[in-house]
Amino acid sequence: MTLPFGRFTGTVYRGHHPMWAYDPLSGAGAARFGGRFNAPGLPTLYTALRPETAWTEAQQGFAFKAQPLTLCAYDVDCTDVLDLTDPNVLAGCQSDMAVLACAWEDLARQKKQPPSWALAERLRAEGAAAIIVPSFAARADARDRNMIFFNWSDALPHRLQVIDDEHRLPKNMSSWTLQ
């Protein structure tokens, strides 16, 4: 099957726990815990197309108390992107919105493979570097979309670079003292 790949150029955003802001390109958190589109062990970088969406995504566990976060912007020029918010692209990937919206955390806790993991695994194997999907965070609306990277680097064709012209991000973990 030939997937309907596209190219994305623009800016995406991610809200980081301040302690982990020294490594905004790692994907290690998703690799450690898993996410909607990756099983544990697979580095994946979850970003949003709007800063408001990044904030909403980062605050999901704290509906009534906003917690501190470091908001980063990224410059993107990436090919091999699938926009799964487009119904035609989603159908061309032989999937549907129910797969994207599955209760992945509950399924993973039950030791069952979530359909969204199976879809992402198949798309990665067929060359997808990134996917664009709706946000499923509480309070998200139709404007809220995420871009999830499976394959990224500081060079084309999957370029993703954090914007930090003034070198404000910490350089290592020693910037923080744990209490």
31's tokens: 């690799």
Which alpha helices (H) appear in the chain, and where do they start and end? 28-33, 51-58, 87-92, 97-100, 104-109, 115-125
| Res. 81 pLDDT band, cuts 50 70 90 | very high
Phi-psi region of 58 (alpha: psi -120 to 50; beta: other; left: phi over 0): alpha
**Which residues are registered as beta bridge partners of 126?**
none
Instruction: Supply the pTM of this predicted model.
Output: 0.93
pLDDT band at 84 (very low <50, low <70, confident <90, very high): very high
How far does the chain reach from its first CA to its final CA, in angstroms? 52
Domains and CATH numbers, the chain: 6-155 (3.90.175)
More confident residue, 172 or 131: 131
* Structural contact between residues 144 and 50, judged by C-beta atoms closer than 8 angstroms: yes
Cα–Cα distance, 4 to 94 (Å, whole number): 11
HSE value, Cβ hemisphere, 13 Å, CA-based, for 37: 27
